[in-house]
Amino acid sequence: MEKNEILNKRIIDLPDAPKVPGLIYRHFQGEADYPGMSAIVMAICEAGLMEGSFTAEDMANEYRHLTNCDLSKDLIIAELDGSIIAYGRAWWAQEKTGKAYYMLLDVLPEKMDLKIAAPMLRWMESRAQDSATAMPADYAGDLLDVVDQKDTAKITMLKEFGYQPVRYYFAMERDLENIPDIPLPEGIVARPAMPSQYHEVWDKAEEAFSEHWGFTEPTEENYQGWKESRWFQPFLWQIAWDGNLMVGQVQNYVDMVENEREKRLRGYTEGISTLKGYRGRGIASALIARSLKMMKALNLDEVALSVDSSNATGALRLYEALGYRTYRKMVEYRKPLLLND
């Protein structure tokens, strides 16, 4: 790489960077970085260390709606011979008990052995400390990351930095055979949400999840990002109503990009929630059963969802009773954020 080209890239000088010829760390340069960044996510998925898909367009949409994150300061990129091989982003969100300082760090699996990730994580932690310093009366919280249980290299690094496992999340799947017939309770009906009710769908889901571990206060930017994403597929939702009151939902979607890559026909039964006061009446079970039948009618072969293994509402037991089985596990690692003296 030419010297002038390097100078134009807003280099980040990391004193503990490995001595690898052609390696530089730099700041974010805008939308031109999205293809390289999303290619890393796709490579991690193909290596079986993450699930889903994340195109450059998906990344552009998400990054348009970020909150509590200054991309010009809070994102670091590693390049090797001009190609992006890793990126990390630090941001925070408000939990009920304090702040959550997220440490998102993605590295091409074949480049983990270059030891490029640890200096990036250390830099991201310093950015979190800078954010905390700007709000000294209200900074208390944890640094955190969620990692696939099979990602042993990243888990080893997090443990070396003092992170500890605090929560486990399961990915579950089910085929579309032997779907049970589960009617909705008397007086509850299923009907679509109209466009004017999409924000209500969002609000009711957030209300239901507000009791969950690690819940962070949503913003209007979060809503807009969700609404503009390709996973926003209201024509597949199952919504339960008691008169004009929305009391339950399943936000179904199909990820065609992932299906094409994995050569499968899968749908997702996510965003499952029931309004407090209506729980325990079988609404969620009925909506899930309706979702399974709909997915089968679309000629899909299987469905999947994710769940907090310690969900206080008993979601894991419900999904197991409906035929879902765990096929991968993710672990949330945390450590307290401490301000430098």
Domains and CATH numbers, the chain: 3-162 (3.40.630.30), 171-331 (3.40.630.30)
The pLDDT of residue 6 is above 70: no
First CA to last CA across the chain, in angstroms? Answer: 39
- For residue 41, how far is the Cα from the chain centroid? 12
Q: What is the pLDDT of residue 338?
A: 85
Residue with tokens 């899968």: 266
Q: Round to whole Å and give the CA distance between 293 and 261.
A: 24
Give this prediction's pTM: 0.92
Nearest by Cα to 76 from 133, 123, 130, 22:
123
CB 84 within 8 A of CB 43: no
DSSP-derived 3-state class of residue 55:
coil
Helices 56-64 and 220-227 sit at what angle, rounded to 10 degrees?
160
Most confident of the following: 176-185, 215-224, 332-341: 176-185
- What pLDDT does 4 receive? 46
Which one-letter amino acid corresponds to residue 109?
Answer: P
DSSP state letter for 21: T
pLDDT of residue 139: 78
Lookup: tokens for 54: 């994340």
The set of residues, in sequence order, having a beta carbon less than 8 Å from that of 143 and lying 6+ positions away, is 101, 103, 125, 128, 163, 334, 335, 336, 337
Other CB atoms within 10 Å distance of the CB of residue 94: 17
Task: Please check the confidence at residue 1 and state whether its pLDDT lies above 70.
Answer: no
pLDDT at 311: 82
Beta strands in 23-152 (DSSP E): 23-27, 75-80, 83-95, 98-107, 141-148
Residue whose structure tokens are 């450590």: 335
- Contacts (Cβ under 8 Å, ≥6 apart) of 294: 236, 238, 252
Tens of pLDDT, residue by residue over 267-282, are 999 999 999 999 999 9
Residue 324 near residue 227 (C-beta atoms within 8 A): no
Q: What is the percent of the chain where pLDDT is above 90?
A: 85
Residue 285 CA to its chain's centroid (Å):
24
Per-residue model confidence as pLDDT tens digits over 133-171 = 888 777 789 999 999 999 999 999 999 999 999 999 999
Identify the pLDDT of residue 210. 86
Report the 3 state secondary structure along 253-273: ECCHHHHHHHCCCEEEEEEEE
